[in-house]
Amino acid sequence: MSCTRSGSESESASGSERGRERLVVIGADAAGMSAASQARRLKGPDELEIVAFERGHFTSYSACGIPYWVGGDVAERDQLIARMPEEHRARDIDLRMRTEVTEIDAAGGRVRARDVDSGAESWTSYDKLVIATGARPVQPELPGIDAPGVHGVQTLDDGQALLDTLARTRGRRAVVVGAGYIGVEMAEALINRGYRVTVVNRGKEPMSTLDPDMGRLVHEAMEGLGITMVDDAEVTKVLTGDDGRVRAVATQDAEYPADVVVLGIGVRPETALARAAGLPLGAHGGLLTDLAMRVRGQENIWAGGDCVEVLDLVSGQERHVPLGTHANKHGQIIGTNVGGGYATFPGVVGTAVSKVCDLEIARTGLREKDARRVGLRFVAVTVESTSRAGYYPGASPMTVKMLAERRTGRLLGVQIVGREGAAKRVDIAAVALTAGMTVEQMTALDLGYAPPFSPVWDPVLVAARKAAAKVRAF
Amino acid sequence: MSCTRSGSESESASGSERGRERLVVIGADAAGMSAASQARRLKGPDELEIVAFERGHFTSYSACGIPYWVGGDVAERDQLIARMPEEHRARDIDLRMRTEVTEIDAAGGRVRARDVDSGAESWTSYDKLVIATGARPVQPELPGIDAPGVHGVQTLDDGQALLDTLARTRGRRAVVVGAGYIGVEMAEALINRGYRVTVVNRGKEPMSTLDPDMGRLVHEAMEGLGITMVDDAEVTKVLTGDDGRVRAVATQDAEYPADVVVLGIGVRPETALARAAGLPLGAHGGLLTDLAMRVRGQENIWAGGDCVEVLDLVSGQERHVPLGTHANKHGQIIGTNVGGGYATFPGVVGTAVSKVCDLEIARTGLREKDARRVGLRFVAVTVESTSRAGYYPGASPMTVKMLAERRTGRLLGVQIVGREGAAKRVDIAAVALTAGMTVEQMTALDLGYAPPFSPVWDPVLVAARKAAAKVRAF
C-alpha cells in the first residue's frame, strides 16, 4: 500500500563526471527513501550524490495507516509520516518535492522531471537509478465516479479529502466498494465514525485473498458487526443528487443510498514510466527484477516496492504484492547494493493480516485456486480451536484452514479467521512455508504454550495434525 | 507441569494369554491418558486391553492452569479437567484411581500396584507398558517447610489446599519462593487475590530461563506491579507463630512476614519406579527414550511427559522440560506406536511463554550460558521495538534478544519481554530454530504486517537484522 510518484528539474552533468556518482530515486516513499537512506549510510556525500524526486506532498508515510487515521484511532495525519522531507535533506539527500519524473532515458542514463506547480521541465543524469513509483488505485470507469463524496484512500491527500467529507456527512450512510484489505479496513473506520456501512463486493464472498469458505466466515462476522454485506454485486454507476454530490451506488440489482462512497478495489503497479522506457514488466504489470532487486537486463537500474512483481516462493511464480513491509525490505536491499554492499530479496510467501473491529483475518501461501493454477494437488483441512486454553478467560474461537501438497505433505498455505490472537499466528505458517516444512514436521513444532496464550495444542498444530493425517490417507 | 503417579491391584494373567494384548499405563494425566486414548482409537477392546493406574484423585487435568484457578481467572477446579475418569472408562479404558504402582518388574513384564486406601497390593502383567509418572516438586529440606500455610501448587489437591488457606488469610501478605514460571504465575495469582506479594528468589534475577539482562526487565516490571522482588536470596527457614502456622520466611539476610507461602522452586522427573527397575535415566534424572518414545534398550516399554528427558535440537543434548504441550505430544506419539502406527518426537527447541499480569515473557532456544556450555560461539543482540505500528493505539514496548552462531549465522535463541502481543511472537523463532535458519535468512521472513499487529519491521525482524549485521562483522 505504499504509493509514490515523482518529477523535477536539474543540471544534466553526470555526478561521476564531477568525481562522485549520482543516484537518482524516483518516488520518495517506503522503498525509495529506504533505498536512499541505506545508500547514504554506506556512502557519504563525498562519494555519492543522491537526488530523489517525489511528485506528491509527502515522504515516507504509512499508507497502511490511512484507514486508522480516517477511523479516528490515529489522531493526526503526521503520525503516519515516518520521516519528513527536511529529515531526509538533513542527511544529504537532495529531495525534490512536487516534482514528477515524466521520462526515463535508460540508454542515455537520465530522467526528465517536471515541477508540478511551475510546469518547468529538465533532464537529470544518473549513474544509478532506483524506480520506486509505487502503485495506483484501480479506478473503475463508471458514470458518477468523480462525483464529490466518492473517495479513494491511497494517499494522505485522499485521506484528508475523505475526512473532510465525513465531517460534513457525520453519522450517515456509507458504501464501501470492494471487500479486500482496504475495503474491510475502511468498513471498520466508517463504523468507528458512526456510519451505517454497506460493503458492495464483486466476489462471492469478501476477502478474495481467502478461499470462499473462509471468506464466508468474514461475511458472517462483518454482518454480526452491523455491516450490510452485498456480495456478488457489480457496481454499475454512482448516482448523484441535485447538488451534484453522491447520493447512492447502483448495482445490476439494487441501489444503496450513500452520503459517502469509498473505493477500495485494489491497486496496480504504477509502471507507465518504466513501460515507456522499455523496461521489462511481468504479467501483473509490475517491473521484473533479479534477486538483488536490479531490473532485469539493466546494469544500473533497481526497482522496489509496489511497482515491482515479487517471486512467490510457494508457487514459483511472480505476483504483485503491494505491502509496506515488502517495500521497506526492498529499499533496504537496494540501498545496500547501490551502496556497494550485497543483499538479496528471495521472495514472499504471501502473508497478510487484517482486522475489522475485533475480527482478525490472516493468510499466507496458496489458496485452493492458486494451488490448482500451478498444477499442485493438495489436501485441505479446516479446524476450529481457541486462542487460549478453553477454560481461560477471553478464549475466543478461531478457524484455521491448512493446505498441504499430496504425497510430499509440504505445507502450501494457511488461512485464519478469529478474534484476538488469531492473525499473528499465521507467522508460524509463514516461517514453515519459507523453510519448506511438511505438515507432518509441523505437528512436532515446539510452540509457546501457557493457558493465557494457547490451548495445549496450538490451533496451528491441530490443523497440522489433521492435514498430516489426510496426507497419509491418500 | 503435568504431574501424574499411580498404583493398583489385578489378576496376573497376561492379556495376550487371553487372545488380546494388555497395555498398562502408569499415570493418568496428559501423557498417560493421551497414549491410552490414541491406542484405543487405533485398536478396539477386542484387540487391546488398556489398564491405567493413577494414584491421585484426578485424570487428564491442566496443572498449568492451577495458577489461574488460584488467582480466580478460572472459577472452578473442574474446568481444568479435560476428561473425567468416567469418560475414559466409557472408552473401554480400565482406569484404576487411587492406585499406586509400587514396582515395575521389567523382566517379568508386570507391575505391582497398591490400593491407596485399603493398602491391598497385587501384580498386573502387561504386554506393553507406558510410564507417565510425571514430575514432583522440589521441596527444600528447611525447618518449618511443612507448617500449615506453606503450599506447593503441583496438583489439584495442592491448589484446593492453597485456596482454603487464602480463604482464611484474605488480603494479607504472601511470599512466593522461586521466580521461575510457577513463581511468577503464582505472584500474579496472589496479586489478583489482593495480597501483598514478595517473591524470594535464589537467582540474580527472576526467570532464570532467561539471560540475566532479560531477567532484569522482568524484575523491574514485577516491581512496577507492586511486587517486592528479593533476588539472590536463599531461604533458610520458615518461621511459625504460636498457632504453628507460617508467619514469615527467613533468608540469610532478612525475614519476610507471610500469612501464606507458595513454593514454586521447580520440579524433577518422578522416576523412582523407573530407577528401581533399572531403566536408563539421564543426567537430569529423567527416563531416556528413543525417537519413538520407547525407553532405550526396552522392547515394550514407552515413556513420556514430565518423567522423560527430551532432545534439545539446538544444543544436541538432553534436557528436562516439564510442559503439558510436550506431554500431550508424547502421549499421542506413544499411543500411535503402541497401537501399531508410526510416529516420532524429534525433540524440542525449548520454547516457553508466561505472563505476570500484563507482562509477557517468552524464550526459545539457548541462553548465553547454554550456548557456552555446549561449545558454541555466538553473537547476541538486543533490540527495543513495539507490538504494533508506533502510531497505532496500544502499541507497547517490546525487548527482543537474539543469539546467533558466529560464522554460520545460525539462529540459536530468542528471548522476549514485553506486553500484549510479545509472548507468542517467540513462535516465529521456534519455527526458525526447528528449520535451522540463519539470522540472515530470517531478515527476509514474510511476517504478517498491518498497523494493529506489527510495525512495518516486526520486532523479530529488527533483531534478525541486527544479529545478521553482527555475524557479518565478525
pLDDT in tens, B247-301: 999 999 999 999 999 999 989 999 999 999 999 999 999 999 999 999 999 999 9
Distance CA A386, CA A394 (A): 9
Helical segments of B84-127, H only = 85-90
- Optimal mutation site among B333, B446, B471, B472, interface A, most CBs of chain A within 10 A: B446
Report CA-CA distances (Å) from B123 to B10, B105, B113, B388, B400.
Answer: 6, 9, 6, 60, 54
For the cut 80, the answer to whether the pLDDT of residue A309 exceeds it is yes
Same domain for B65 and B90, yes or no, is: yes
For the cut 80, the answer to whether the pLDDT of residue B46 exceeds it is yes
CB contact under 8 A, B451 and A352: no
CB contact under 8 A, A351 and B64: no
Looking at this protein, which amino acid is placed at residue A348? V
CB contact under 8 A, A446 and B434: yes
Residue-level pLDDT at A13: 52
Same domain for A61 and A171, yes or no, is: no
Residue-level pLDDT at A9: 39
Report CA-CA distances (Å) from B425 to A424, B389, B431.
Answer: 8, 15, 11
Rg (CA), chain A: 24
The Cα of B327 is separated from the nearest Cα of chain A by a number of Å equal to 9
- Average pLDDT rounded to a whole number, residues B448-464: 97
Closest residue in A to B311 (Cα) is A446
Contacts of B345 in chain A (CB under 8 A): 444
Determine, yes or no, domain membership for B288: yes
Q: Which residues contact B41 (CB under 8 A, 6 or more apart)?
A: B335, B339
Nearest to B446 among A349, A391, A452 (CB): A349
- Asked whether the beta carbons of A286 and A308 are under 8 A apart, the reply is yes
Burial of B13 (0-12, 13-18, 19+ CB in 10 A): exposed
- Optimal mutation site among B73, B79, B81, B456, interface A, most CBs of chain A within 10 A: B456
Which cell numbers hold the place of B316? 544436541
- Average pLDDT rounded to a whole number, residues A411-432: 97
Same domain for A376 and A463, yes or no, is: yes
Closest residue in A to B443 (Cα) is A329
CB contact under 8 A, A355 and B324: no
Same domain for B26 and B125, yes or no, is: yes
The Cα of A172 is separated from the nearest Cα of chain B by a number of Å equal to 26
Same domain for A81 and A161, yes or no, is: no
> What is the domain range of residue A380?
359-473
Distance CA A11, CA B122 (A): 99
- Average pLDDT rounded to a whole number, residues B78-94: 96
Same domain for B209 and B297, yes or no, is: no
Same domain for A256 and A274, yes or no, is: no
CB contact under 8 A, A350 and B446: yes
Residue-level pLDDT at B17: 54
Domain ends where: B278, B303, B338? Answer: B338
Report CA-CA distances (Å) from B51 to A330, B7, B120, B216, B337.
Answer: 60, 11, 17, 48, 17
Which cell numbers hold the place of A351? 502473508
The Cα of A19 is separated from the nearest Cα of chain B by a number of Å equal to 29
CB contact under 8 A, A355 and B80: no
Total number of domains in chain A: 3
Strands B135-137 and B267-269: antiparallel
Contacts of B458 in chain A (CB under 8 A): 325, 427
ipTM of model: 0.94
- Asked whether the beta carbons of B70 and B156 are under 8 A apart, the reply is no
Determine, yes or no, domain membership for A345: no
Q: Shortest CA distance to A285 belongs to which of A153, A136, A152?
A: A136
Domain ends where: B227, B242, B265? Answer: B265
Same domain for B71 and B114, yes or no, is: yes
**DSSP secondary structure code for residue B189 in this structure:** H
Residue-level pLDDT at B146: 95
B329-364 pLDDT per residue, tens: 999 999 999 999 999 999 999 999 999 999 999 999
For the cut 60, the answer to whether the pLDDT of residue A15 exceeds it is no
- Optimal mutation site among A446, A447, A449, A471, interface B, most CBs of chain B within 10 A: A446
Tell me the count of A-B CB pairs closer than 8 A: 203
CB contact under 8 A, B62 and A430: no
**DSSP secondary structure code for residue A227 in this structure:** P
CB contact under 8 A, A446 and B328: no
Residues of chain A with pLDDT > 70, as a percent, come to: 96
Residue-level pLDDT at B342: 96
- Asked whether the beta carbons of B56 and B95 are under 8 A apart, the reply is no
Strands A310-311 and A318-319: antiparallel
B382-441 pLDDT per residue, tens: 999 999 999 999 999 999 999 999 999 999 999 999 999 999 999 999 999 999 999 999
The Cα of B431 is separated from the nearest Cα of chain A by a number of Å equal to 6
Q: How many helices (H) and strands (E) does chain A have?
A: 12, 25
Contacts of A430 in chain B (CB under 8 A): 445-448
Same domain for B403 and B306, yes or no, is: no
Active-site amino acid positions of A: 64
The Cα of A106 is separated from the nearest Cα of chain B by a number of Å equal to 30
A322-366 pLDDT per residue, tens: 999 999 999 999 999 999 999 999 999 999 999 999 999 999 999
Residue-level pLDDT at A83: 93
Backbone dihedral angles phi then psi of residue B313, each to the nearest 5 degrees:
-70, -20
Distance CA A197, CA B151 (A): 56
CB contact under 8 A, A328 and B456: yes
A292-303 pLDDT per residue, tens: 999 999 999 999
For the cut 80, the answer to whether the pLDDT of residue B447 exceeds it is yes
Strand partners, B435: none
Closest residue in A to B73 (Cα) is A393
Residue-level pLDDT at B6: 40
The Cα of B419 is separated from the nearest Cα of chain A by a number of Å equal to 12
For the cut 80, the answer to whether the pLDDT of residue A469 exceeds it is yes
Distance CA B38, CA B35 (A): 5
Nearest to A393 among B73, B329, B427 (CB): B73
Contacts of A352 in chain B (CB under 8 A): 448-450
A250-274 pLDDT per residue, tens: 999 999 999 999 999 989 999 999 9
| pLDDT band, residue B7 (cuts 50/70/90) | very low
Cα–Cα–Cα angle for A65, A141, A308, nearest 5°? 50
Strand partners, B295: B289
Distance CA B64, CA A390 (A): 13
For the cut 70, the answer to whether the pLDDT of residue B4 exceeds it is no
Distance CA B241, CA B341 (A): 59
Distance CA A89, CA A91 (A): 5
CB contact under 8 A, B80 and A391: yes
Determine, yes or no, domain membership for B3: no
DSSP three-state, residue B339: coil
**DSSP secondary structure code for residue A295 in this structure:** B
A231-242 pLDDT per residue, tens: 999 999 999 999
HEC string for A261-274: EEECCCEEECCHHH
CB contact under 8 A, A427 and B428: yes
Q: Higher model confidence: residue A2 or residue A206? A: A206
- Average pLDDT rounded to a whole number, residues A297-320: 97
Nearest to B450 among A73, A354, A451 (CB): A354
Distance CA B37, CA B18 (A): 22
Task: List the CATH number of the domain containing B315.
Answer: 3.50.50.60
Determine, yes or no, domain membership for A206: yes
Nearest to B389 among A65, A393, A445 (CB): A65
The Cα of B394 is separated from the nearest Cα of chain A by a number of Å equal to 10
Domain ends where: A265, A287, A321? Answer: A265
The Cα of A202 is separated from the nearest Cα of chain B by a number of Å equal to 24
Determine, yes or no, domain membership for B406: yes
Provide the terminal-to-terminal Cα distance of chain A, rounded to the nearest Å. Answer: 41
Mean pLDDT taken over chain A: 94
Contacts of A351 in chain B (CB under 8 A): 446-449
Burial of B245 (0-12, 13-18, 19+ CB in 10 A): middle
The HSE-up count of residue B446 (CA atoms within 13 Å, CB side) is 28
Same domain for A453 and A364, yes or no, is: yes
Contacts of A359 in chain B (CB under 8 A): none
Same domain for B457 and B310, yes or no, is: no
A370-392 pLDDT per residue, tens: 999 999 999 999 999 999 999 99
- Crossing angle of helices B324-338 and B30-42, rounded to 10°: 30
Distance CA B200, CA B236 (A): 11
CB contact under 8 A, B352 and A457: no
Contacts of B353 in chain A (CB under 8 A): 448-450, 453-454
- Average pLDDT rounded to a whole number, residues B312-330: 97
Determine, yes or no, domain membership for A78: yes
The beta strands (E) that lie in B234-358 are given as: 235-240, 246-251, 255-257, 260-263, 267-269, 301-303, 310-311, 318-319, 352-356
The Cα of A427 is separated from the nearest Cα of chain B by a number of Å equal to 5
Determine, yes or no, domain membership for A73: yes
- Optimal mutation site among B184, B192, B427, interface A, most CBs of chain A within 10 A: B427
CB contact under 8 A, A447 and B389: no
Q: Higher model confidence: residue A50 or residue B168? A: A50
- Asked whether the beta carbons of B331 and B32 are under 8 A apart, the reply is yes
Q: Which helix (H) or strand (E) holds B160?
A: helix B156-169
Cα–Cα–Cα angle for B88, B93, B94, nearest 5°? 115
CB contact under 8 A, B324 and A449: yes
- Optimal mutation site among A34, A431, A471, interface B, most CBs of chain B within 10 A: A431
Same domain for B129 and B273, yes or no, is: yes
Determine, yes or no, domain membership for A349: no
| pLDDT band, residue A6 (cuts 50/70/90) | very low
Q: Which residues contact A274 (CB under 8 A, 6 or more apart)?
A: A104, A131, A133, A281, A287, A295, A303, A307
CB contact under 8 A, A353 and B451: no
Burial string for A325-347 (b: 16+ CB within 10 Å, else e) reads bbbbbbbbbbbbbbbeeebebeb
Nearest to A423 among B324, B443, B448 (CB): B448
CB contact under 8 A, B453 and A324: no
Closest residue in B to A437 (Cα) is B435
- Mean pLDDT is lowest, of A87-96, A112-121, A134-143, B356-365, for A134-143
